[in-house]
Structures are given as C-alpha cells and as structure tokens.
C-alpha cells in the first residue's frame, strides 16, 4: 500500500462497514490529487532552485565552467516552463479495485479479486457481506513500467 492509499483509507475509515459513499470518494480523491500536485510543485521548485545554485557555483572563469553553468541554467528554465518533468511527476497509469475483509476478527485484512472495474468490486462486496459483514471496496494506483523479457524456467 502506498502513501496515497493509506491516506485514502485513513480518510474513509468511518465507512469501512457500509462502503464509501460516492460523494466522499470524489471529495477525498480530489483532495489527494490537489495535495499530490502541490507536492510535485514544491519538489520542482526545490529542484529549480538547486540547479540555479549549482549553475552559479560553476562560475565563469573558463569555457568549461561556463558551459556547465549554461547547461544547469537551461535545465532549470525547462523545468520551470514544464518542458520536461522529473520522474515521478507522472500520475498513475490505472486504478485497481479489490474486495477487503477479515476472515475472522483476529485475522489481518485480506484483499481479493483485483479488478479495474469499481462496479465489479462493489458487486463482489455485496455478495461477500453475508459471509463477511465487514467487507468493503479498496483501491490502489497502478504504475506500469517497461516490459522486460520473462525469466526462463
């Protein structure tokens, strides 16, 4: 579970037995998105300031120093205009939903049946409620990486 999922779970814990109402889900999701955007903007501002500082430290005593300083200043300018984005600025590729419940009171929460469909997860929860009265829908963001060759067995 990543930090966003933990914050979402914390913000919606009061609805764990009944399921999160759509308006609460939408508002919490909007707040988390706004917080994420602000965090990225703060991080980008720090990177831009750092690049400017390093560019000034290079000085202008010789051609190599001026070239390195120029590269740093150009990178800071590109970041400030949004022409390039640092890694992790990209949002999630997808959201995945699951069905969470405790088999017994002492057990850890289990998450089953991941799916890209919220409706499918909600339908599954409604079927699980007879056996697991505390079942509820959970979600997580999914980030995809590049494909790699599968290991041979």
Question: Over the stretch 75-115, which tens digit does the pLDDT of each residue have?
Answer: 888 888 877 776 655 555 677 888 888 877 778 888 888 88
With cut-offs at 50, 70 and 90, classify the pLDDT of residue 146: low
With cut-offs at 50, 70 and 90, classify the pLDDT of residue 7: confident
Contact residues for 67 (Cβ-Cβ < 8 A; gap 6+): none
Question: Over the stretch 125-141, which tens digit does the pLDDT of each residue have?
Answer: 888 888 888 888 888 87
Which is it for strands 136-142 and 110-115: parallel, antiparallel or unpaired?
unpaired
Output the pTM of the full model.
0.47
d(CA 14, CA 6): 14
Q: State the burial class of residue 132 (Cβ atoms within 10 Å of its Cβ: 0-12, 13-18, 19+).
A: middle
Question: Over the stretch 27-61, which tens digit does the pLDDT of each residue have?
Answer: 888 888 888 888 888 888 898 999 999 999 988 88
Which is it for strands 136-142 and 94-101: parallel, antiparallel or unpaired?
antiparallel
d(CA 103, CA 131): 9
Residue 13, pLDDT > 80, answer: no
- Where b means 16+ CB within 10 Å and e means fewer, 40-60 reads beeebeeebeebbebbeebee
């Amino acid at each position: 579970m990543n930090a966003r999922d933990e914050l979402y779970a914390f913000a919606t814990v009061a609805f764990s037995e009944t399921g999160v109402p759509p308006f609460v889900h939408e508002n919490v999701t909007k707040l988390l998105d706004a917080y994420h955007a602000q965090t990225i903007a703060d991080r980008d501002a720090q990177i831009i300031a750092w690049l400017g500082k390093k560019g000034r430290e290079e000085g202008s005593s010789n051609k190599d120093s001026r070239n390195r300083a120029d590269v740093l200043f150009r990178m800071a300018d590109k970041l400030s205009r949004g022409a390039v984005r640092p890694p992790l600025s990209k949002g999630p590729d997808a959201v995945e939903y699951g069905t969470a419940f405790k088999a017994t009171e002492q057990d850890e929460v289990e998450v089953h049946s991941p799916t890209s469909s919220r409706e499918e997860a909600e339908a599954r929860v409604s079927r699980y409620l007879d056996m697991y009265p505390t079942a509820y829908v959970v979600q997580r963001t999914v980030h995809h990486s590049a494909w790699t060759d599968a290991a041979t067995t």
